Structure 1
């Protein structure tokens, strides 16, 4: 039962972080939502495994950040540098919100660690606030207004594929040494999705075409309305 509650509340948290990052990039949260949800569920499952079965609490957040970077760079086709910058900022914004609730309502992290219910309440409050902030940001056009493509590295397409493969190999070795075959399968599926989108150049062309249309119509300069 613990894994179910962990997945539910962690997915709500990661959805809030995803929404914050999308708003920073001035995209609607609903864009790529299904691909994002699949990746988030797989990422949270792997986070649970690393925290509870491998006792790698320190490594789980880093892996989740990498997964978000790959999500935005491989699937949503944001340049890797911007993907990393916005992912870090999104996590920092969410961490500030959660820290504020933690100190004002629960007093200390000990109350969260000793009572799972408090932890779930904290996740709900933080996630809901994160979603609200992201809606406000998108509604009023708060986010990066720069031309994201200017920071795209030469041969970034090849570099991204190489990075995904390297990270996958390193994590595969970790799971192999611990004989976690099913978990290795889940991780393989996640990174397989990234590789599929990273290799799919038609998706990149579609993204570039959409960006050009927005630029020509002035869509990047004015905030939209979140559905």
Structure 2
């Protein structure tokens, strides 16, 4: 029963991340629901294996991140560079929301060890899922996302100008998320780092939106 509960909520986490990512780049949900749900379920199984079978929780983000990039690239047929870009934005957006809740809950007097134990972890997990889904829905309905990512794989990408900056931010964003397990224990520092990275990502995405690179 505990395994099923883990898989259910983990699937919902991945689903929320994909929905937020699609909304951020004005990707349509219609026609992709099957792939989104399938990827969410498969990634939840991966999380279970990494967390509870292999006991590699600290290394999980490092292993999961490239697999999500490959998933976006191969399943949704997005160019590899843009797949990495979308994944970086989605991951950091989700992490920002979760770290914000961690800061609030620690401000209420909870320790990090209490936060990662039941029932507080369930509250953190559920709150992050709900808020992410609401933000994704709002961004999608209002068409507030970016539209510069082509919805096909065969596109030539030149690594210069804004694209070069975005590549650097992909690397920095992935490093930031790879160290998420460590940074989350230091909520204030994690929130500061996450805010800076996310603001830089949004700034250069806006520049890219109005450029011709």
Match of 2:145 in 1: 143
Matched, 1:43 2:46: no
Provide the residue aligned with 1:215 in structure 2.
Answer: none
Q: 1:66 to 1:30 in 2, by over 3 A?
A: farther
Shift of 1:53: 2.0
Q: Is the 8 A contact 2:50 2:57 kept in 1?
A: yes
Tell me, in whole angstroms, the C-alpha distance in 1 between the residues paired with 2:76 and 2:136: 18
Q: Deviations over 1:50-88 (max 9, x none)?
A: 122222123322332223212221121111111111111
1:123 to 122, 125, 150: 125
Assess if the C-alpha contact under 8 Å between 1:82 and 1:151 holds in 2.
no
TM-score normalised by length of structure 1: 0.61
1:17 matched to which residue of 2?
A: 17
TM-score by length of 2: 0.64
User: Partners in 1 of 2:37 and 2:153 — Cα distance?
Assistant: 28
Matched, 1:110 2:101: no
Instruction: State whether residues 36 and 71 of structure 1, in contact with CA within 8 Å, keep that contact through their aligned partners in structure 2.
Output: no
Q: By how many angstroms is 1:128 displaced?
A: 0.7
What is the Cα-based RMSD across aligned positions, in Å? Answer: 2.2
User: Does residue 152 of structure 1 match 2:175?
Assistant: no
Compare CA radii of gyration and give the structure with the larger one. Answer: 1
Q: Which residue matches 1:63?
A: 63
Contact 2:12–2:40 (8 Å) recurs in 1: no
Give the whole-Å Cα distance in 1 for the aligned partners of 2:102 and 2:154.
37
For residues 79-94 of structure 1, the aligned pairs below 5 Å read 79-94=79-94
Unaligned runs of 5+ in 1: 155-227
